[in-house]
Chain A
Amino acid sequence: MDELLIILHSTFRMTAPIALAAIGGVFAHRAGVLNVALEGMMLVGAFTGVMVSYLTGSILIAVLAAVLSSMILGLLFSVFGITLKGNVIITGLAINTIVLGLTAYILQVFFGQRGVFSNPKIIGLEPLDIPILRDIPILSDILNNQTPMVYVSLLALILAHFVLYHTKLGLYIRTVGEKEEAAYSVGLPVNKLKYISVLIGSFLCGLGGVNIALENVTMFVEDMTVGRGFIALAAIFSGQGTPIGTFIFSFLFGFADALQIRLQSLNIPGAFIQMIPFLFIVLVLTVVGIISVRGRTSRGIKNE
């Protein structure tokens, strides 16, 4: 029982970065923009957060800077992918590659570090001990003493659901993604809506980066997002683009991650244990795929 609570506690911790990126990515997804730059946006958030925290000693400024850097990438992505109508996949991959190279480069040239940047001067975000919550049994074991971004990820889920299904903005974003001509025919600002969707995504990706670099650890490691942006994409698709579905799949993937960490204490080769989350994702995606294909009677590509 205790073991389970510990794993669940750490599941929420591991879910937070995936869920933040994924819920953010839901907006672009629903606006019909495939944003594969979630990975790069998170990584830049992690890097900027660490650097600014180290340089200023202020965690608030660090978080703001992380979000800002991620949103600059979002803007860059939008200019090339939406305004200039470039291929969004290539644009996104280019951003990922640039971030990966640039962070390593800056680290080495300006800080003289290779691969890892760790320093006592980096201030991180501490777990919160929440009144009321701490007194509720079980729930307190799972949800209390989490870092701020874990709570932000839950808040993001609720807000995303509200915005998407109960506000004009959400309705317009869904319209743009589903039937662009319908949006044009009633004079909606299609490109502006796509920009907003991408930027909401990069905002949350920035926070996801903060979670990875300033909450779970207080350091920067080259490529420390290790594909979480792509896992977030998988969560979006598996969750069919709804915030709730996306969160559920993020949670599943987070669970696999937590399990992996837990199993590291066992006497099994580390490389194998580290495969668990990814094997798990392949498994989940296979099941999702099989379910959607089963029962189809028409041959060849999907007709409807």
Chain B
Amino acid sequence: MNNIEVVNLTKKFGDFVAINGINLEVKKGEIHAICGENGAGKSTLMNMLFGLIEPSSGQIFINGEEVHFQSPKEAIHQGIGMVHQHFKLVPSLTVYENILLGEEIVKGFKIQQRKEYEEVQKTIDHYNFDLNGKDKIQDISVGAQQRVEIIKMLHRNVDILILDEPSAVLTPQETDELLDNLIALRNSGKTIIIITHKLDEVKKCADRITVIRHGKFIGTVNNKDVNQQEIAKMMVGRDVKLDLQKEDSERGNVVLLAKNINAYSDSGSQVLYDVSMNVHEGEIVGIAGVEGNGQSFLMNALSGMLKLESGEIIYQDNSINDKSPQALRDMKIGLVPEDRYLHGLNSTMSIRDNLIAGYHWRKQFCDFGVLQQKEIAHHAKDLIERFDIRNCDNTSLEVGSLSGGNAQKIVIAREMSMNPNLLILSQPTRGVDIGSIEFIHQQIIEFRRKKKAVIVISSELSEVMTLSDRIYVMYKGRVIGERLTKQTSKEEIGVLMAGITDGEAKFGE
């Protein structure tokens, strides 16, 4: 029996057809993956199922009954719950308070905190989730926060759970845990729809896969009948190279050298211990490690956002210990920060302004303090074409209106277009779709061809392995190992990431 049936569903925003006559059947008790590139209309489709957007035409049936949701509340009432990509949790409240938000248990005026906690912990334990109801949201990991969102829906007795890009914010370990949880939920009879473009995850957990492209239904297939290549082809509409080819690098002089850097976080704990590393011209150096082992702090230290306690960072024979990100950009270092919306972009500023942000006062764009709008618009148009940034016909629109992949392309286009000597990228393809990942990777390799230096920090091991010539592995704030990519394997790096070494000396300078 079909839990959800969507017939000829269409959504138009003005002249733009976001969803064009889509048919979808989701069976009870299956994990159904909705795959498509960014901007294909996956989220629009799900938002219609969840009552956030009203369809222009077409029908939605839940358990054989036609429904017209006006709000998420009605959807939840009908047993449909959604976990959004950006969590809707209150950081200073506890897990149980967040889960029961709006449905508190009261006696008179007073909230029965102990009873609330017990009720919620019962649900958590019932589904065997790794959560403590009394923890505050601000103290738990992103993965745990997502589990809170899932429990929040389960506690409201939903049978159908929609997850929008659930792994976009998770570390590989957390992702595995999530997939295990989803499979367990499916086995207990829940229906799960997962929106994603990460094919390895789809292969791991889905029963059936529906692919949409440019708002159109491409097909629904059984997971066991297809391989990753085939799904990618359905999504993108052409053959996609999942493996990158790159020629050997010709190493030049040292561009950046970090010597024994130590640093503390704002909360006063040491986060970098004696980290030393270097990168040469014409070389891509990868920093691998399980998320939370100091890579973010290393990125902040290298990009001038974290003060060093001791040690030195030398760039082209000059110390850059006390330089701001702005000064570093002036010294021809391109910076692609980890969180594009926090440090990479101003999401309420226009696309074209974001394409010059950080370089906006340069003579080319700003003459006597006056922004040269014509030049800026021209520059934007040029980059959008060169970097194949989509949905950017109007460059005065807010950057926040772009999908993750396109927003990331904006950051990368901006930093690369200023022709730096060294490019430092942190999580360059997080939350980015396959087509864009392929493109960004090619750009990085093309950049190396020009004898430039690149540092790539990524928690995606496969990304580090594909791109880098040399890899440093970080563990608990230290560099625990250094390997030449050609002489190592995913397994060996994986072991290092877990903090296991046999105490051997590091590979030479």
Interface residues of A (CB under 8 A from B): 166-168, 171, 174-175, 178-179, 181-188, 295-300, 303-304
- Is A299 a contact of B306 with CB atoms below 8 Å? yes
Q: A171-B104, A298-B305, A303-B342 are in contact. Are A187 and B268 (CB under 8 A)?
A: no
- Is A166 a contact of B92 with CB atoms below 8 Å? no
Say whether chain B's binding surface is mostly helix, strand, loop, or mixed.
loop
Given A182-B89, A299-B307, 9 additional A-B pairs, CB 8 A? A168-B104, A171-B104, A174-B93, A175-B101, A178-B91, A185-B72, A297-B263, A299-B304, A303-B305
Residues 87-102 of B at the A interface (beta carbon under 8 Å):
88-93, 97-98, 101-102
Q: A174-B93, A298-B300, A300-B324 are in contact. Are A187 and B104 (CB under 8 A)?
A: no
- Is B92 a contact of A174 with CB atoms below 8 Å? yes
- Is B88 a contact of A182 with CB atoms below 8 Å? yes
Asked if B71 is at the interface of the complex by the 8 Å CB criterion, the answer is yes
For residue B103, which residues in chain A have a CB less than 8 angstroms away from its CB? Answer: 186
The distance in angstroms between the C-alpha atoms of A296 and B267, with both chains bound, is: 7
With both beta carbons as reference points, the residue of chain A lying nearest to B324 in the complex is identified as A299
- Is B71 a contact of A187 with CB atoms below 8 Å? yes
- Is A171 a contact of B111 with CB atoms below 8 Å? yes
The distance in angstroms between the C-alpha atoms of A181 and B87, with both chains bound, is: 9
Residues 62-116 of B at the A interface (beta carbon under 8 Å):
71-73, 84, 86, 88-93, 97-98, 101-104, 106, 109-111
Interface residues of B (CB under 8 A from A): 71-73, 84, 86, 88-93, 97-98, 101-104, 106, 109-111, 263-266, 268, 300, 304-307, 324-325, 342-343
- Is A182 a contact of B98 with CB atoms below 8 Å? yes
- Is A166 a contact of B102 with CB atoms below 8 Å? no
- Is A179 a contact of B88 with CB atoms below 8 Å? yes
Interface CB pairs A-B, < 8 A, 9 = A171-B104, A175-B90, A182-B101, A184-B88, A187-B73, A188-B101, A295-B268, A298-B305, A299-B305
For residue A182, which residues in chain B have a CB less than 8 angstroms away from its CB? Answer: 88-90, 98, 101
For residue A166, which residues in chain B have a CB less than 8 angstroms away from its CB? Answer: 109-111
Partner of B106, one of A168, A183, A295, A298: A168
- Is B101 a contact of A297 with CB atoms below 8 Å? no
With both beta carbons as reference points, the residue of chain A lying nearest to B300 in the complex is identified as A298
Nearest CB in chain A: distance from B383 CB, A: 26
For residue B97, which residues in chain A have a CB less than 8 angstroms away from its CB? Answer: 171
The distance in angstroms between the C-alpha atoms of A184 and B109, with both chains bound, is: 22
The distance in angstroms between the C-alpha atoms of A166 and B110, with both chains bound, is: 5
Most buried by B among A181, A296, A298: A298
The distance in angstroms between the C-alpha atoms of A178 and B104, with both chains bound, is: 18
For residue B91, which residues in chain A have a CB less than 8 angstroms away from its CB? Answer: 178-179
For residue B89, which residues in chain A have a CB less than 8 angstroms away from its CB? Answer: 179, 182
The distance in angstroms between the C-alpha atoms of A61 and B342, with both chains bound, is: 54
- Is A297 a contact of B264 with CB atoms below 8 Å? yes
- Is A187 a contact of B102 with CB atoms below 8 Å? yes
The distance in angstroms between the C-alpha atoms of A178 and B137, with both chains bound, is: 12
With both beta carbons as reference points, the residue of chain A lying nearest to B87 in the complex is identified as A182
For residue B305, which residues in chain A have a CB less than 8 angstroms away from its CB? Answer: 298-300, 303
The distance in angstroms between the C-alpha atoms of A300 and B86, with both chains bound, is: 26
The distance in angstroms between the C-alpha atoms of A304 and B113, with both chains bound, is: 29
The distance in angstroms between the C-alpha atoms of A184 and B88, with both chains bound, is: 9
The distance in angstroms between the C-alpha atoms of A6 and B307, with both chains bound, is: 50
The distance in angstroms between the C-alpha atoms of A185 and B266, with both chains bound, is: 32
- Is A304 a contact of B90 with CB atoms below 8 Å? no
A-B complex: 3 closest residue pairs judged by Cβ atoms: A186-B102, A185-B88, A182-B88
Partner of B266, one of A178, A179, A184, A304: A304
Most buried by B among A181, A297, A298: A297
Q: A178-B91, A298-B306 are in contact. Are A186 and B101 (CB under 8 A)?
A: yes
With both beta carbons as reference points, the residue of chain A lying nearest to B112 in the complex is identified as A166
- Is B111 a contact of A167 with CB atoms below 8 Å? yes
- Is A298 a contact of B102 with CB atoms below 8 Å? no
The distance in angstroms between the C-alpha atoms of A179 and B325, with both chains bound, is: 30
With both beta carbons as reference points, the residue of chain B lying nearest to A299 in the complex is identified as B305
Nearest CB in chain B: distance from A163 CB, A: 8
